[in-house]
Homo-oligomer: A and B are copies of this chain.
């Protein structure tokens, strides 16, 4: 790894991110094995943390290069997104979405009803989108948009596909590493298992924070 030269003082390129621990017992989910969850957390989330740190340090080394064509620097900036904050933040929301009882209630249920006319309509779209990503890769993200004040299910084909100003409330990982060890290609069963483990208390906390946010 190159020394970070002139950028030493820049926190933006320091490359010192660390993985957050799971807040639930991975041996106690319904229909999702401890082996699957641990592999997902260690290899995929953990790998994203490592990649983000490596890329930030490379950027620090490249930024001062006078003769570097901008598109070469841009290549690595592009990669910073999918290798880095994208999967790190989405995985943290995914794991935070698990560990609960799986029944919408409270402010989340009110918001879903307000925007979709009920949680069945919302869930019909959410799971249809998830099944549409089966066999490929991507995320389904229920998000409150802090700019428009709207609630939508957003579709993401990879870690980079996000709506600007979205505040993810519930995040479902559809990369195959999320289910193949337990379910093989039977993605629909994984989607059902995920829904049964949703921690709606956490969703409710995120809803309250989002509705209360004042962003000029």
Q: Which residue of B lies closest to A90 (CB)?
A: B164
Selected interface stretch from A23-31, A98-106, A153-161, A192-200? A153-161
Q: Mark A81-121, 1 if CB is under 8 A from B, else 0.
A: 10101101110110000000000000000000011110001
Residue of B nearest to A6 (CB): B121
Interface contact A165-B163, CB-CB below 8 Å? no
Category for how many chain A residues contact B: 35 or more
| Contacting residues of chain A (131-157) with chain B, CB-CB under 8 angstroms | 131-137, 141, 145-148, 150-157
Chain B min CB distance to A57 (Å): 10
Is B44 in contact with A74, judged by CB distance below 8 angstroms? no
A99 to chain B, nearest CB (A): 16
Contact A39 B184 (CB under 8 A): yes
Min CB gap A65→B, angstroms: 10
Whole-angstrom CA separation of A99 from B168 in the bound complex: 32
Most chain B CB neighbours (cut-off 10 Å) among A54, A71, A205, A216: A71
Contact A155 B214 (CB under 8 A): no
A163 contacts which of B89, B128, B175 (Cβ < 8 Å)?
A: B89
Q: Using a CB–CB distance below 8 Å, which chain A residues touch chain B?
A: 1, 7, 9-12, 39, 42-44, 47, 50-51, 54-55, 58, 63, 67, 69-81, 83, 85-86, 88-90, 92-93, 114-117, 121, 124-125, 128-137, 141, 145-148, 150-158, 160-168, 175-177, 180-181, 184-185, 205-206, 208-210, 212-216
New A-B pairs, 9, CB < 8 Å, besides A44-B135, A63-B128, A86-B164: A12-B152, A73-B129, A74-B128, A137-B137, A162-B163, A162-B164, A209-B215, A209-B216, A212-B214
- A-B pairs, top 9 by smallest CB distance, nearest first, are A74-B132, A180-B180, A176-B176, A43-B185, A70-B132, A209-B216, A70-B131, A75-B79, A77-B155
